Amino acid sequence: MKVVGRKTARLVAGQIVQDIGTEGLTRLPSEAELLERYEVSRPSLREALRILEMYGVISIRPGPGGGTRVNQVASSQFASASSLYFHLLGLTLRNVLNTRLQVEPLMARLASERVKSGVAWADEAEGNGENAESGSFHFSVARFTGDPILLLFADGLRSIYVDESADEKVPRNELPVSHDQIADAIRSGDSEKSERLMRDHIRSYLDALEKNCPEILDQVVDWN
């Protein structure tokens, strides 16, 4: 692979990503091997690796026993990249929650439709109980839809909000619709009820924040 010009590092980064996918790499070869493989200068290769590290694709550990590890794709990486653009657009936590209000009821509907198609609702994530972490339940619903893009997007949005959340100001046991009620509706295969309960659950949470701490909702999403 011979590339020249200002876009060299970006092109090399793209080729590394392709090779990670096609070869199933969990670690990258040594710098010397990468220089030979991609036939680029050391500064261009290091800039390419810096780009991938910035996006969370790889983690570089210097020194003896170190090396370049390929990270598993996670919604937190998607959230980090998205939050940068949300911040530049001046979007607030209210915007994030309003989008969740549109996306997560669809998740609940899709999950219940999978139950109707014969797939058993699995309680593998302990988020189905009210004593578990809030995020684990919503993650379980997103995962059960079977849609990997929806899972990445929905959990990424939740991660952005959790970073700035005020959950302690809105105890879940005070919300009119519980996780258990939503889980029961999904488990029964009732699509309309599942969708309605999830919408009511998130809307009541948004309303409670609006009442108790509206200043939090007006915060612009922080890239940090």
pLDDT of residue 112: 95
pLDDT, one tens digit per residue, over 106-133 is: 999 999 999 999 998 875 434 444 434 4
pLDDT, one tens digit per residue, over 168-196 is: 667 666 789 999 999 999 999 999 999 99
Segments in the chain forming alpha helices (H): 8-23, 31-38, 42-54, 75-88, 93-116, 134-144, 148-162, 179-187, 191-212, 214-217
Asked whether the whole model's pTM tops 0.85, one would answer no
pLDDT, one tens digit per residue, over 145-170 is: 999 999 999 999 988 876 555 556 67
Contact 117, 191 (CB under 8 A): no
Question: How far out from the chain centre does Cα 108 lie?
Answer: 17
